[in-house]
Structure 1
Amino acid sequence: MWTVTRVLIVDDDSFARTMIRTILAAQGIDVVGEAADGDEVPAAVAEHRPDIVLVDLQMRRVDGVEAIRRNASLPGAPRFVALTGYGNEDAVVQALRAGAAGFLSKDDDPSTLATHLRAVADGGGALGPDAAALVIQRMTTPEGQDRAAAARTQLQLLTEREREVAALVAGYTNQQIGTRLGMSDNTVKAHVTRALTKLGMNNRAELAVLADRAGLTA
């Protein structure tokens, strides 16, 4: 049985918040609070202590990317996931660079959405099907092929073991990676941390995108 995941929803559309709450509750996700704009995130996090903050990208005062940038790297912060009704590759990259641990779509299947959120709560990263498709589509264009070559060059900064871990961060938790590669959770975490430091990245979701772009898959 999974551990209940506590989620704070941040969206300026009250109907959208109600729908998301209903969907997540049906999947065993505990929605502990709501906020109506990005500038309300600090107070809401302090009050509700969520595991994950699920943030819409388009809001009136402080948009989702800026809310993630302001809050995701603070000491003791919950993990942030972008949840949007629209998306393009630039939006995905901007959210991840801001510190998001995942990028999901409001159109994602409820069970898939819940699975991704639990993976993030367990220390993993998550790209929904739409976000993953956007990244893959960009990779197959001439510009994307250039990016793939650049990604492979970047990954040469890592040791072989770090690249093995990087190939798995998109779809597996630290425990699952450790089982597959025959190492402890702490060793996996150390490899991920060193890889992020070498690559100048903020989180494992960015590492997952780079690994996918380079064609580094398990």
Structure 2
Amino acid sequence: MIRVLVVDDEALVRGGFTHILDNADDIEVVAAVAGGQAMQAVRASHPHVVLLDIRMPDVDGLTILADIRRMPDPPVVAMLTTFDADEYVSTALRSGAAGFLLKDTDPEQLPYLVRALAEGGTVLSSKVTRTVVDGYLDKDAHEPAVRLAARLTERERAVLVLMAEGLANTDIGERLHLSTGTVKGHVSAVLNKLQVTSRVQAALIAERAGLLVPSRDEDAG
């Protein structure tokens, strides 16, 4: 079972996420709390995934994220917000958040996204992806990204592209016909060579380096 902790200042949001996720056979919401109880709940319930509101009146979500990341074996954290252009996006990702979701995410997609997070994937709401890509790295970061990507082997670049698509290690292994252990080794090498600490950061470098094929919608635009 994937153990999930929901942290949000609004009881309605906590209840809605709990109802949706508890209906999945392989997901259990072990606690749903306001920000002030977040760290106590993390230590008591040992979640695999934390869905954390980025803005709360009683405590800053970024502070909670930093506290969680300092734990010896921290859970995966995805930030929640109602804003598709939240100025805290870059800070959250630089601080180690594994994803960024809008609170109006399609309920049918939510269990899938939680599974992806639990398996090591990255999750970015489609509405905020462009904001993240444009704001996370400087506008003139193309050349540094290209230089970093050039350090990768052909296999590592293939792994990076699939990481950027949000695939978990098991899914990458199936695509490339590799064992999950081998994929983990490639992922570690990619993060090390790109000098980043998270898969989201690696994915954004891949975007800047031109390794990702634009979608047809982007081509049309």
Q: What TM-score do you get using the length of structure 1 for normalisation?
A: 0.85
The question of 1:68 aligning with 2:65 is answered: yes
Q: Does the 8 A contact of 2:77 with 2:98 survive in 1?
A: yes
Q: Does the 8 A contact of 2:90 with 2:132 survive in 1?
A: no
Paired residues, number: 209
Secondary structure in 2 aligned to 1:8? strand
CA drift at 1:20: 1.9
- 2:127 is matched with 130
Aligned residue runs from structure 1 range 27-176, under 5 A: 27-28=24-25, 29-37=27-35, 39-88=36-85, 90-135=87-132, 138=134, 144=139, 146-170=140-164, 171-176=166-171
Q: What are the ranges of 5 or more consecutive residues in structure 2 without an aligned counterpart?
A: 214-221
Query: Taking every aligned residue pair, what percent have the same amino acid on both sides?
Result: 39
Q: What are the ranges of 5 or more consecutive residues in structure 1 without an aligned counterpart?
A: none
CA drift at 1:90: 4.7
Secondary structure in 1 aligned to 2:72? coil
CA drift at 1:160: 2.4
Q: Does the 8 A contact of 1:8 with 1:53 survive in 2?
A: yes
CA drift at 1:83: 1.3
Q: Does the 8 A contact of 1:168 with 1:217 survive in 2?
A: no
CA drift at 1:53: 0.7
CA drift at 1:184: 1.7
Q: Distance in 1 between matches of 2:182 and 2:106?
A: 33
Q: Does the 8 A contact of 1:89 with 1:135 survive in 2?
A: no
- 2:219 is matched with none
